[in-house]
């Protein structure tokens, strides 16, 4: 399909995961659907929620795989094939515990960095050549590499306010990617969003 883009937010389905750090991708695609007047529908043939919307002249498919994080690629591959979309026109949004809270990083390709959702997408597509946006959720220093409880936990109140600002910036970054390309979006939006306290002091 010409002039179409697929924006995939990775996360886990179910109310118990809805506001957890690992669902950062779901949170962003929810924001985009609301902003672009997209309506979510459960598409069982893909194992995903999909919303069709428009941004400018471009048709945008928003996707939230419902397979749980480790099998996200099953849904992503099925959606790409059915709608005849290319991985080069796809952006995958994930949380990243190796980036501090507040950080946003766009890349044109690369390794999964140990993220199970990206590993699954790479496995099912057979390529790493797709854009990805990583939203930093940080990690607890005392937890070391044992971060399951952290990523599957909800944001604390101050963190939630901070992350809402990150999502605002991420929405702008997605729209810049659609309008001007990934290079421009990387130049303008890669970096850190200051916490609310720091903004108030400036």
User: Tell me, what DSSP letter sits at residue 156?
Assistant: P
> Does the predicted model carry a pTM greater than 0.85?
yes
State pLDDT tens for residues 92-125. Answer: 999 999 999 999 999 999 998 889 999 999 999 9
Please tell me which of 5-19, 138-152, 187-201 the model is most confident about, judged by mean pLDDT.
5-19
The lowest-confidence range among 5-14, 47-56, 151-160, 188-197 is 151-160
State pLDDT tens for residues 178-196. Answer: 999 999 999 999 999 999 8
Length of the chain: 202
The lowest-confidence range among 84-93, 118-127, 141-150 is 141-150
CA distances from 117 to 7, 9, 93, 175, 194 (A): 14, 10, 10, 23, 27
Say yes or no to pLDDT of 175 above 50.
Answer: yes
Q: Which fold has domain 4-201?
A: Rossmann fold (3.40.50)
- The secondary element (H helix, E strand) that includes residue 104 is strand 103-107
Quick check: is 124 catalytic? no
Selecting among 22, 83, 115, 150, the annotated active-site residue is 22
**Residue at token pair 């990583």:** 134
């Amino acid at each position: 399909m010409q002039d179409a883009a697929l924006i995939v937010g990775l996360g886990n389905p179910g109310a118990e995961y809805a506001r957890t750090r690992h669902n950062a991708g779901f949170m962003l695609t929810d924001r985009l659907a609301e902003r672009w007047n997209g309506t979510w529908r459960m598409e069982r043939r893909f194992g995903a929620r999909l919303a069709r919307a428009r941004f400018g002249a471009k048709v945008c498919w928003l996707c939230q795989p419902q397979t749980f994080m480790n099998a996200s690629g099953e849904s992503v591959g099925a959606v790409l094939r059915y709608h005849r979309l290319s991985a080069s026109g796809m952006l995958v949004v994930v949380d990243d515990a190796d980036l501090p809270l507040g950080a946003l990083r766009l890349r044109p390709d690369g390794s999964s960095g140990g993220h199970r959702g990206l590993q699954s997408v790479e496995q099912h597509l057979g390529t790493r050549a797709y854009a990805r946006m990583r939203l930093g959720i940080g990690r607890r220093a005392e937890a070391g590499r044992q971060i399951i409880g952290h990523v599957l936990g909800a944001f604390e109140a101050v963190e939630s306010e901070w992350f809402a600002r990150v999502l605002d910036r991420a929405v702008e970054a997605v729209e810049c990617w659609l309008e001007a390309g990934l290079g421009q979006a990387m130049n303008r939006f890669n970096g850190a969003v200051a916490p609310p306290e720091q903004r108030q002091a400036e």
